[in-house]
Amino acid sequence: MIPAMTPDDLVLVTGAGGFIGGHLVAELLRRGHRRVRAVDIKPLDQWFQRAEAADSRRLDLRRLEACHEAAAGTAAVFNLAADMGGMGFIETHKAACMLSVLINTHLLLAARDAGTDRFFFASSACVYRADRQDVTDVEPLREGDAYPAMPEDGYGWEKLFGERMCRHFREDFGLKTRVARYHNVYGPWGTFAGGREKAPAAICRKVLEAQRTGSGEIEIWGDGEQTRSFTYIDDCLEGTLRLMASDVVDPLNVGSDELVTINQLVDIVERIAGVRLRRRYRLEAPTGVRGRNSDNTQVTQALGWAPTGRLEDGLRKTYEWIAASMTPTAATTT
């Protein structure tokens, strides 16, 4: 439970039809919150997960009146709504990503007007300075490395602006805002095809496709030596809820510090699948920064916790879910 809240206080989760939002709704219900309002722009039958116990609504939160409807009567708001995806999407849809500033701005206004107590904003490691991420053997990113500002163009600027908005709504209006900088969250019940998927899901899908078509080959964007850390969804949820319950007002990393190359990521998925594939590298494809990892010093000190999930364990669960979802008889999400 979130401190100072009862099981019957209303909690809003935006982006609830998406990957992290869908998991968060389920986790809040599991932890005893009986009144959860779930909101997304997608039609309800297109949500990745939909809990029958939640008040699920389709609303366009870029519009202020929709945000007022969503936030009415809430004690806490988790804002995970954004137009985003993997690197292939955010590098080619910068304006669309930037327009998500409307969601957070209008939702902050609505939460203030509704007398909401706590407001969570899902930010991203894309806010960090590009000049701290230009080598593969990257120094882990500390929270202070977001300034002087040089974030990912488009999506990163939107997230950094959203963080500042939260800060000033806390300072000016007393809204208790909390901000997490997510590092590459992955797991089951998320996008794995269509252009918005992130690297772990994309690699799982490509390995499965290579097996099923018999091609014996996998396409990798870039040279495969770019480095990242990947955060399993269970760790993301735990960090989110601990941060929301805390008195920490500055942004915190919520991310694994287990650094791997994309080639090593492919190695792990191949090992899970029991195959070895030829690798075809697309050097012209979008790859983002050369290296990115999370420094978990501050989150450990502030919350007494940091992500602990092993990448191979999380990838196995993700691979198995995608494999089941790609079968013709796979059950639809409910």
Sheet holding 118-124: strands in order across?
Answer: 55-58, 36-40, 10-14, 74-79, 118-124, 176-182, 252-254
pLDDT for res 221: 94
Q: Are the CB atoms for 162 and 120 separated by under 8 Å?
A: no
Q: Would you say 239 and 296 are in contact if contact means Cβ atoms under 8 Å apart?
A: no
200-209, pLDDT tens digit by residue?
999 999 999 9
Above 70 in pLDDT, residue 332?
Answer: no
Length of the chain: 334
pLDDT at position 331: 38
3-state secondary structure of 106: helix
Q: How confident is the model at residue 155 (pLDDT cuts 50, 70, 90)?
A: very high
Structure tokens at 273: 């699948």
Q: Per DSSP, what are the bridge partners of residue 231?
A: 185
| pLDDT tens readout for residues 249-303 | 999 999 999 999 999 999 999 999 999 999 999 999 988 899 999 999 999 999 9
- 281 included as an active-site residue: no
Per-residue pLDDT tens digits for 162-179: 999 999 999 999 999 999
Q: Identify which of 106, 311, 49, 323 has the alpha carbon closest to the alpha carbon of residue 209.
A: 323
Q: Which residues pair with 123 in a beta bridge?
A: 181
**pLDDT at res. 4:** 67
- Which pLDDT does position 51 carry in this prediction? 96
CA dist 290 → 152, 182, 232 (Å) = 12, 18, 21
Percent of the chain with pLDDT over 90: 88
Cβ contacts of 96 within 8 Å, gap of 6 or more: 83
φ/ψ region of 189 (left if φ > 0, alpha if ψ in -120 to 50, else beta) reads left
Q: Which value, in Å, is the radius of gyration of the alpha carbons in the chain? A: 19
Share of the chain above pLDDT 70, in %: 97
Band the pLDDT of 89: cuts 50, 70, 90.
confident
- Predicted confidence band of residue 86 (pLDDT cuts 50, 70, 90): confident
Q: How far is CA 59 from CA 26, 39, 40, in A?
A: 20, 6, 6
Token pair 């940091």 is at which residue?
306
Q: What is the pLDDT of residues 42-72, one digit of tens each?
A: 999 999 999 999 999 999 999 999 999 999 9
- Residue 1 — very low, low, confident or very high, per pLDDT cuts 50/70/90? low
pLDDT of 286 reads 85
Other Cβ atoms less than 10 A from the Cβ of 297: the count is: 14
**Given 128, 155, 182, 319, the catalytic residue:** 155
Structure tokens at 103: 């969601």
Residue 92's pLDDT is 83
Interval 4-28 mean pLDDT: 94
Q: SS3 of 113, please? A: helix
- The pLDDT score that the predictor gives to residue 290 is 94
Question: What would the two tokens of residue 58 be?
Answer: 């389709």
Q: What is the pLDDT of residue 39?
A: 98
Contact 31, 14 (CB under 8 A): no
Helix (H) or strand (E) holding 10: strand 10-14
Asked which of 13-27, 84-98, 225-239 is least confident by mean pLDDT, the reply is 84-98
Task: Spell out the domains of the chain, with CATH numbers in brackets.
Answer: 10-183+231-256 (3.40.50.720)
Is the model's pLDDT at 330 over the cut of 70? no
Q: pLDDT value at position 328? A: 57
